[in-house]
Amino acid sequence: MKGQAIAIALVIASGVAMSVMSLSTLKTLDGTRAAYYERYRFAQVFAGFKRGPRTLESRVQHIPGVARADLRIVQNVNLIVPGLPEPAVGKLISIPDHGTPKLNQLYLRRGRLPEPGRLEVLVGESFANEHSFQPGDSVEAILNGRLRELTMVGIVLSPEYIVEMDPGDMLPDFKRFGLFWVPETEMEAAFDMEGAANDLSLTLMRGASEDDVIRRLDNLLDDWGGVGSYGRDEHMSHRFITDELAGLEAMGLVTPIIFMAVAAFLLNMVMTRVIAMQREQIAALKAFGYYNLEVGWHYCKMVTLIVVAGVVAGTLFGVWMGHGMAALYAAFFKFPIFYFQFDLQTAVITAVLSVAAALVGTLNSLRAASQLPPAEAMRPAPPGKFSKTIIERMGLQRLLSPAWRMIIRQLHRQPLKAVFSVLGISAAVGILVLGNFMNDAMDFLIDFQFRQVQRQDLQVSLFEPTGIDVVNDFQHITGVRQVEAFRGLAVRLRNGARSHRTAIQGMGKTRQLYRVVNQNGVDQDLSRDGLVVSDALARKLNSRVGDSVVVEVLEGERPVTSARIVGTIDDLSGLNAFASRDFVNRITREGPRITGAWMTVDAEHLDDVYASLKETPYVVGVNSKEATIDSFTSTVADSQLQMQSFVIGFAIVIAAGVVYNTARITLSERDRELATMRVLGFTHAEVSVVLLGELALLTLAAIPVGLAFGYAMVWLTTTSLATDLFRIPLVISTGTFAQAAIIVLLAAFASGWMVRRRLYHLDLFAVLKGKE
């Protein structure tokens, strides 16, 4: 039985490995994040405003529930990085001239702190690593219209930016976005902010109401151009890592259940056959005085031994996989210290559940062994009941060879065994579909987001809302072919007790460079006064087309109005709202204004366009679509490739385990029949058809069931993993279905070939002897 035991142990090991890897990594990541937040005082509420005096800090401290507040200056600037033709974006954050910030404290990885009186800065590690910067290197930045040199004297980490990304980006771009911490006096002088600030973060007292503090804080900052306060759950870095934790938890809980169910089924098949083969031995043991419990315990130990072997192997492999995942996370999530920590509690719980699942799966067989009366056990098992198959009732048996008639009759006699075999193999097919569909989803997402929706080459962001005349400036840049302006407006949308902080994207009448489309390619009409919102945003606000929502503008004079939802789109990223630019300008009561533009450029003049934009003082950011695609693919590729290889390997284990065990059990049950056929003159090929034809039918029947099962799992995955940041499209290509079917067929072929070799070693003389 060693082959069957190894196959079952490998199935158990696969589920245990996924559980240990996912849940241990989850606990490591969550524990590291919590310790980092606490030790380095990550804020709980954040707020931006136009400009306010430093005395605001004491007033904020008096808001009930506020434990600590910290004012600072935050500005986005254009960077000129050596060797990088396009402009990069730098976020400058002020820090005290001496000492450390009250909140969001920094961890100095290398170098030293800046000295007052010099334009020395600290740089985030992701940006520094991407450009191989060392303490002492420098970059140029346009500060308030003046070109200045920033000397990087230290490389740091911040709990506020575990993922170093701009809140307006869909994914991190470590090459084109950098974080810099600048002494307070230098920031005040560079941006004319003496004695003033424009950003605030704070922590709360235990038991304080975050919503109440945010409401009071917004009221306080109204006079200073507040743009809306928000909690930690809306902070981009925190949301990003929280979504990753949710994915790990789902993987660690759902996947092992599938493997344990398959393992329990395999053990049930094996133990049922073993007990049937050992009826005489069981009877002899009971005749000698062994109790039912002792006989049952004997087989329990056999099951437990197989499970324990699988648990040990799976735990070791899960630890190895966990170290690989930790290395990926350490490169992406920036913690001072991050090492994979094996979670013994998870391993113990997984082991107990594996043993319990196996024993439950074999409970019926164990009960049969322990309760088998000695007299009954000494008699041969009664033959199965014969009845005509459907094919025979239809009179089609003459179309089949004798070997195929045997196969059909065998399946007809044991329908439950056939059904469970089909379900076991279909689980492998479904897991392969689930593991490979992500490639299809990512290909569709890139095509939809970056070729159907975003058709521009560059997106240019302005320092503040500006007159429409700047579009003419862009159009006169050599190499620029087409320009479309937009007006982004920070708002909070409310519907009763539900609300969400987002931005309305005000767009012009001509929308060729950025389209508002559904996944089927149908454009949404923005000509009517109202909002077109993401389906996800509509669900969050509990709103439908035709409903009105309250629009609280979070900039300028901060007017409050209402708007009707005139359409929804099934987009794939963010919780977005779109409207005509005229409608947005009427809401703000500021007249025609824009905050950015999309443009297409000639490839041969791209560097010239970059150079011109670098010298434009009111441009605060330039995003290249191709650079975003590169960042997207490089961010997803490593982790996706590694997880895909694990899933494919585990699915092959399931397929091979089910097919191999089914074939071995069939061979054990029918060895006398097959040997008799050989004595009667059947060839090896004809005998092989009887043995392996049944497996072939089961595998072929399992493939369509498995494809449907895979589709259901993909739907469940896309539904459960949908977040405010991303919605994974439910897209499965024909190639993915075909690949899953082919891999399972190959695994079945390999298993069948291994079992077929045993046909050459059948004892042909044994069948000539009667059973004693």
Given phi > 0 = left and psi -120 to 50 = alpha, else beta, which region is 522? beta
Task: Tell me what the mean pLDDT of segment 582-605 comes to.
Answer: 88
Give strand pairing partners of 424: none
Angle between the N-to-C axes of helices 2-39 and 292-332, in degrees from 0 to 180, rounded to the nearest 10: 40
CB atoms within 10 A of CB 497: 7
Q: At what angle do helices 625-669 and 671-679 cross, to 10 degrees?
A: 70
Q: Is 595 a residue whose pLDDT tops 60?
A: yes
Higher pLDDT, 615 or 458: 458
pLDDT tens, position by position, 423-435: 878 888 888 888 7
| Residue 66 confidence (pLDDT) | 93
712-741 pLDDT per residue, tens: 888 887 887 777 777 888 889 999 999 889
User: Cα torsion for 41, 42, 43, 48, to the nearest 10°?
Assistant: 120
- Give the pLDDT confidence of 549-580 residue by residue, as tens digits: 999 888 777 888 999 999 999 888 778 899 99
Q: Share the mean pLDDT of the chain.
A: 83
314-335 confidence digits (pLDDT tens): 999 989 988 888 888 888 889 9
Written as one letter, the residue type at 631 is: S
pLDDT at 636: 64
Helix, strand or coil for residue 463?
A: strand
- Determine the average pLDDT of the residues in 202-229: 88
pLDDT at residue 180, rounded to an integer: 95
Residue-by-residue DSSP string for 364-404: HHHHHHHH--HHHHHSPPPPPPP---HHHHTT-GGGS-HHH
Domain boundaries, the chain: 40-239, 480-601
Report the alpha-carbon distance of residue 191 to residue 556 in Å, rounded.
Answer: 20
Q: What separation in angstroms does the CA of 532 have from each of 110, 549, 592, 770?
A: 48, 12, 21, 82
Average pLDDT over residues 404-420: 74
Lowest-confidence region among 482-491, 543-552, 560-569, 627-636: 627-636
pLDDT 10s digits, 343-360: 888 888 888 888 888 888
Coarse DSSP helix, strand, coil percentages of the chain, rounded to the nearest 5 percent: 55, 20, 25
CB atoms within 10 A of CB 242: 16
Higher pLDDT, residue 187 or 678? 187
Structure confidence at residue 168 as a pLDDT band (50, 70, 90)? low
Confidence of residue 122 (pLDDT cuts 50, 70, 90): very high
Burial 462-483 (b: 16+ CB within 10 A, else e): bbebbeeebbeebeebebbebb
**Banded model confidence at residue 167, pLDDT cuts 50, 70, 90:** confident
* 124 band by pLDDT with thresholds 50, 70 and 90: very high
Give every CB contact of residue 534 below 8 A, 6+ residues apart in sequence: 568, 569, 570, 571, 574, 575, 576, 577
pLDDT band at 639 (very low <50, low <70, confident <90, very high): low
Per DSSP, helices labelled H in 670-683 are 671-679
Percentage above 70 pLDDT, the chain:
92
Q: Which residue has the higher pLDDT, 422 or 647?
A: 422
Task: Give the pLDDT confidence score for residue 316 in this predicted structure.
Answer: 92
What amino acid is encoded at 91 in this protein?
A: K
How much of the chain exceeds pLDDT 90, in percent?
24
Residue 461's beta-bridge partner residues? 596, 621
pLDDT of residue 377: 56
Is the pLDDT confidence value at 16 over 80? yes
Assess whether pLDDT exceeds 90 at residue 613.
no
Q: For the whole model, what pTM was predicted?
A: 0.77
Q: What is the pLDDT of residue 429?
A: 87
Closest CA to 96 of 79, 113, 82, 83: 113
pLDDT > 80? residue 621: no
Spatial separation of the C-alpha atoms in residues 560 and 499, rounded to whole Å? 14
Please tell me the predicted confidence (pLDDT) of residue 160: 93
Structure tokens at 269: 């098949």
Range with lowest mean pLDDT among 47-56, 254-263, 559-568, 724-733:
254-263
Q: What is the pLDDT of residues 74-110, one digit of tens each?
A: 998 888 888 888 778 899 999 998 888 999 999 999 9
Examine the pLDDT at 380 and tell me if it is beyond 70: no
- State the pLDDT confidence band at 245, using cuts at 50, 70 and 90: confident
Is the pLDDT score of 369 beyond 60? Answer: yes
Question: Does residue 121 carry a pLDDT above 90?
Answer: yes
Q: Is the pLDDT of residue 501 over 90?
A: no
- List the alpha helices (DSSP H) in 415-559: 415-447, 470-475, 535-541
In this predicted structure, what is the pLDDT of residue 280?
Answer: 75
Q: How far apart are CA 157 and CA 122, in angstroms?
A: 9
